[in-house]
Amino acid sequence: MGSISLRSVQKTYGHGAKANPVIQGVSAEIADGEFVVIVGPSGCGKSTLLRMVAGLEEITGGEIDIGGRVVNKLEPAERDIAMVFQNYALYPHMSVFDNMAYGLKIAKVPKPEIEVRVQKAAKILELGTLLQRKPRELSGGQRQRVAMGRAIVREPQVFLFDEPLSNLDAKLRAQTRLEIRKLHAELGVTSLFVTHDQVEAMTLAQRMIVMNAGRMEQFGAPEDVYARPATIFVAGFIGSPPMNLLAGRAEGARFQVDGQSLPLACAAPRSGELILGLRPEHGGVDASEVPGWALQVDTIEMLGAERLVHGRIGERPFTLRIDSTLAPPTAGSVMTLHPSPRHLHWFDPQTQARIA
């Protein structure tokens, strides 16, 4: 069983007054065979958390359990994990075959079994014709596949991916994402994948951990995180473009933003200072003559199948996504929005948490 249990995991550098907490009590239960992505901005602690699971960083507090064993004191080689790094970490003087087989040779696996495992991994990753090449003769995407093959032949309980696609161009990243999804579907091995790219997180994850400043802001399926962000941070981080967030004051079925009164189809969850969120695609543009939200248009971006309209509600920046088949507005014009109440998100400005 390759389940992973994180129980109040903490990491602090330094001691006393100079102590710097970088992971602050992260708890999560990851099922056997699940693909979980840890996502967040640079410096949020996601790679540190992964390295603690791998045994490359000591933990300050809490417990890490892999496959029913607490591994806090175990060396990386004893944890039955395999790691894929951002920089491939291939031996330049070895062939693809030897790079993939090296860990098995060190573990004194019999040669016939090494041959079987490497050939099997090469077939899965379509590396069969490249086994005698050296890393310098491969593209970036091929090198990353070799790095994944080296992990596959180990037949571990858990795969750990530390931003493995960061060195690839956009087209190769998209292609390699599909390969990783197919790989997981075929092997069914528990996987933890770290990235700062929320598109990678949304497309790869069965569930995702959103990290911010060493804390886990939300843990859930991508569609749930997108549709019901737990905090203002998650709302602003997940989604491209991110959710529009308007700070204002609610009074029944009106929301005051910079002196502009926005009508609501139903009353806000409570009166007083609130933050109202709305995804760019949920603006509710229609020909209705009912009073709505006035969006002052500044610029329009053409993105092929869609357009992004950038403007202001009151003095707050606001982005609207519209279909490219619609007649585009002109800069300086005013658009009227009628968002559905089911697409409105409310947050407490003090706690930053979602209001049901």
Report pLDDT digits (tens) over 102-132.
999 998 999 999 999 999 999 988 899 999 9
Q: Count how many domains the chain has.
A: 2
Q: Beta-strand (E) ranges in 31-176?
A: 35-39, 61-66, 69-70, 81-84, 158-162
Between 251 and 286, name the one with better pLDDT. Answer: 251
Shared domain check, 283 and 333 = yes
How many separate helices (H) and strands (E) can be counted in the chain?
8, 19
Q: Locate tokens 């491209």: which residue? A: 240
Q: What's the rounded Cα separation, in Å, for the pair 293 and 316?
A: 13
Q: What's the rounded Cα separation, in Å, for the pair 315 and 318?
A: 9
The pLDDT score that the predictor gives to residue 287 is 61
Across residues 18-33, what is the average pLDDT?
94
Residue type, 212: N
Shared domain check, 208 and 293 = no
Q: Using pLDDT thresholds of 50, 70 and 90, give the confidence band for residue 99.
A: very high
Per-residue pLDDT tens for 295-325? 999 999 999 999 999 999 989 999 999 998 8
pTM of the model: 0.90
Whether residue 356 is contained in a domain is answered as no
Grouping H, G, I as helix, E, B as strand and the rest as coil, residue 182 is helix
The pLDDT score that the predictor gives to residue 17 is 82
Asked which of 184, 210, 236 is the last residue of a domain, the reply is: 236
pLDDT tops 70 at residue 237: yes
The pLDDT score that the predictor gives to residue 80 is 93
Across residues 214-240, what is the average pLDDT?
96
Q: Which domain holds residue 50?
A: 4-236
The pLDDT score that the predictor gives to residue 1 is 65
Grouping H, G, I as helix, E, B as strand and the rest as coil, residue 211 is strand
Distance from chain centroid for Cα 129: 33
Determine contact, residues 37/193, Cβ cutoff 8 Å: yes
Q: What CA–CA distances, in Å, run from 322 to 33, 146, 202, 270, 284?
A: 38, 41, 21, 31, 10
Asked which of 171, 206, 236 is the last residue of a domain, the reply is: 236
Q: Using pLDDT thresholds of 50, 70 and 90, give the confidence band for residue 289.
A: low
Across residues 190-206, what is the average pLDDT?
95
Shared domain check, 208 and 253 = no
Considering the chain, what is the average pLDDT of its residues? 93
